[in-house]
Every structure is written in C-alpha cells, then in structure tokens.
Amino acid sequence: MAQYLLESDWAADDLPCLTLVSEPFGSKLPSVLLLHGLGGRKENQLQAGYAFARAGFRAVACDLALHGERERAEDRDRLLRENYVSTMFELVSQSVRDVSRMIDWLGVDSIALHATSLGGVVAFAALLTEPRITAASIAMGTPDWLGMLAPHGVVAGHPLYDLAASISPLELANQMTPAALLMLHGDEDQVIPIDGVRKLQERLKEKYRETPERLELVVYREHGHSYTSDMMLRSIAWTQKYL
C-alpha cells in the first residue's frame, strides 16, 4: 500500500502551505499547485491533493491572500462587505504574486495549476504573468473581470471600470501563457456564470490553432457551482498528459 507524506511548511514568512507526496518521494516529482475558493483554505484541497499524489505528483496547497493563516484573514468578510471591488483586486493580485513565489520556492521550471472558483480567477490571472505554468485545470473560475464585477456596480463610467478591463484575462487573452488549458464549468452556475470561459475559449482558438487539443472546455449540463469527483479525475488526467 502506498504511503503518503503530508508536510506543513511556510514558503515565506507569510505564505503557509501543505505538501503531499507519495513514497518514494522527492523534489524530482512534477509539481501541482492547488488553489482553493473564496472563504476556503489550503486544507480544503486535501482530497484533491491526495488524488494528485496518488497519480505521482507533488501536490502543494497554499492559503490565498486574506485566507487561512494569512494576515488579515479574519477581516476578509468585513472588507468584502465594505468594499468588494478593491478587496477583490487586492486579494487576486497578491495571490497571483504568491503563485510565482511558490514556484520560486519549489525550485521548478515547470508547474501545473489545479484551481477552483476564486482559485480559478487567480489561475487565469497568473497565466498572464507566469510562463512556468505548463498546464492548468480550472473548475468554476472566470477570466472575465468585467462580467465578475458588473453585479457590484463596475460598469462603463465607474471609476474602476477601465482598470478592471486593463487587467482582465479575457480582455488580454492574446497575452496568456500558452499552457495546456482545461476549463470545467456547470452551465447553470449562478455564482460564477459560464459565459466568461466560453468567451475565452473562442478568443484563444487562434492561439491554439496548431494544437487545439491543448484547449478544452468541459460543460456540465444542469450543474451549478459545485466541485465534483469527475472534475478532479479529468484534471488529474489532463495534468498527467501535459505536465
């Protein structure tokens, strides 16, 4: 029976993480960074972490900014209530920087991301800045900042509208790292609607014209905002194929 090692560590003074590997283990195992959803923490990714470890990966989960053991995590909900847009800008931008910090800490030249919900928002943004991401599987995330923030009043004429447009991965699709990208989404998701990933798939088709198999959107019919075992299994198979 396989044995698993679960390590708790700090990638930096302010970046707590968990690492899961199967024995025999070592730094040469391909690495997958797991990103949790809004209000979650790294421990929420243990099920996926064990599954990736069983598949032969070093699975690493870290707390996103304002979550888990991070500074001001206890203030997150209040900050979102008081100023959702500015807090979300801070949360995502810091978490994107943390993705690069984690890759530096792991000492690898190539990594996969597996992200859910808010983690998926972070993952799409990280694909704009981090060329070491070779593969990404994103469940219930969105690259569409304008669509995500419109319910919070960020529409044309809002003082932050142009900023949101300037950093939205959907608007900057041509600048995204050409990682093997798997998107998984329910067509009845009311928390993060599917429109953003559908639009991104269309905008990326030319970028992936010579390797269309590296860009895929799996749509779950009559499914809302919930993570499933099928999403996890497809993500593992995708990562095995492309990392």
CATH of the domain at 108: 3.40.50.1820
* Structure tokens given for 175: 């600048």
**Is residue 23 over pLDDT 70?**
no
Contact 140, 218 (CB under 8 A): no
In order of 19, 49, 91, 164, 173, the CA distances from 125 in angstroms are 23, 22, 12, 12, 10
Angstrom distance (rounded) from CA 235 to CA 182: 7
Give the Cα separation of 64 and 137 in Å (integer): 17
For residue 8, pLDDT beyond 60:
yes
Please provide residue 112's backbone torsions phi and psi, each rounded to the nearest 5 degrees.
-110, 150
Angle between helices 84-106 and 118-126 (to 10 degrees): 60
**Cis preceding-peptide flag for 159 (omega within 30 of 0):** no
Q: Domain total for the chain?
A: 1
Residue range 45-66: mean pLDDT, rounded: 95
Q: What angle do helix axes 46-54 and 229-242 make, rounded to 10 degrees?
A: 40
Q: Which is nearest to 232 in space by CA: 55, 99, 23?
A: 55
Residue 238 to residue 39: CA distance in whole angstroms: 27
Residues in a beta bridge with 234:
none
Q: Reply yes or no on whether the pLDDT at 26 is more than 60.
A: no
CA distance 17 to 64: 10
Q: Count CB atoms within 10 A of the CB of residue 39.
A: 13
**Domain membership of residue 192 as a residue range:** 4-242
C-alpha distance from residue 167 to each of 25, 63, 95 (Å): 38, 23, 14
Dump pLDDT digits (tens) for 179-205. Answer: 999 999 999 999 999 999 999 999 999
Residue 24 banded pLDDT, cuts 50, 70, 90: low
Q: What is residue 7's predicted lDDT score, i.e. its pLDDT?
A: 87
User: What's the pTM?
Assistant: 0.95
